Structure 1
């Protein structure tokens, strides 16, 4: 029935917008699907995160694992990343993200419309920067971080950004160093180095 399909159809759904805050697309607004539970990383948090990453992004190969709106991967591309793989389970969100990448004429971007665990089940070359910001309600952090390691996504000196509720303790693989950490409202930002 069309009514049941509407939320996943970007052509018939209203869209929300976010603003890219730095780099070549600074100030550009991009659309994303208004999906329940989707909460793009806010401007202040993104500003902090990308200040942490500013010297690591030019030419970097990045993974935005629970892409949603694509805010983190788009910001990385805007600031000089050479490649971003966006992984998004929701078909509508993935389709809108592809459209926005086309509007921006983004090069080096690929959208994978599949669950994170499916993406991680295929061997991969190491990424330079990985963004892990899963739906907070699903408690996916520990399994996801272990999955990144098993899939070969993490190499020597890979930086892994993890966003979670501030009261959540996260088990990270042995040897990972906590480089940066910040609490902002109910959110905890952590940057690890493998």
Structure 2
């Protein structure tokens, strides 16, 4: 997979096929980062289901200030570390943890949060609950959720649909948090 734009444009991210992860497609990433273009520079981002870490690396490429990326699979976590080292990226903190445990403490809010869990996984609503309960969001936090197209997710009343796009079997929705 290649980085689409920014200071790391055209750089390759290596992903071993044996890990069976589903990275966000080039087209969906292009659309997502067009949506985020006014907000990504200097943002503090959280990538809750790193997988390939493409969303994290694309964020840094587009001048996000800092990204925390969480991956529970130890081998995928190591693959991410190798890619970050090879690309000489210093402002991504990669954590090997289960996202449910990691979010289960009082948090420091992020500007942009990515939720792109494996399809057919029922974890997303638990993660959304923890993000709200433990103060990981703030006024105007942007939250991107990618799921199967027809999957219904319960969203907090404070989250408003900002942008939405369906491509193939995937649905990408960008929410804006309004705390007031």
Query: Is this a same-fold pair by TM over 0.5?
Result: yes
1:13 corresponding residue in structure 2 = none
CA RMSD in angstroms comes to 1.0
Q: 1:164, CA displacement in angstroms? A: 0.4
Report the TM-score when normalising by structure 2: 0.95
Q: 1:25, CA displacement in angstroms? A: 0.4
1:15 corresponding residue in structure 2 = none
Q: 1:102, CA displacement in angstroms? A: 1.1
1:113 corresponding residue in structure 2 = 96
Paired with 1:169 and 1:93, the residues of 2 have a C-alpha distance of: 28
Find runs of 4+ consecutive structure 1 residues off by over 4 angstroms. Answer: none
Q: Aligned residues, how many? A: 177
Does 2:161 correspond to 1:178? yes
**Are the aligned partners of 1:33 and 1:69 in contact in 2 as well (CA < 8 Å)?**
no
Paired with 1:111 and 1:123, the residues of 2 have a C-alpha distance of: 19
Does 2:134 correspond to 1:167? no
Larger radius of gyration: 1
> 1, 8, 13: which one pairs with 1:30?
13
Q: Which moved more, 1:109-118 or 1:137-146?
A: 137-146
Does 2:77 correspond to 1:94? yes
Paired with 1:180 and 1:87, the residues of 2 have a C-alpha distance of: 24
Report the TM-score when normalising by structure 1: 0.88
> 44, 67, 77: which one pairs with 1:84?
67
**Unpaired runs of 5+ in structure 1?**
1-17
Q: 1:31, CA displacement in angstroms? A: 1.2
Q: 1:36, CA displacement in angstroms? A: 4.6
| Larger relative helix fraction | 1
1:137 corresponding residue in structure 2 = 120
Q: 1:174, CA displacement in angstroms? A: 1.6
**Are the aligned partners of 1:33 and 1:92 in contact in 2 as well (CA < 8 Å)?**
no
Counterpart of 2:24 in 1: which secondary structure?
A: coil
Q: 1:124, CA displacement in angstroms? A: 1.6
2:133 corresponding residue in structure 1 = 150
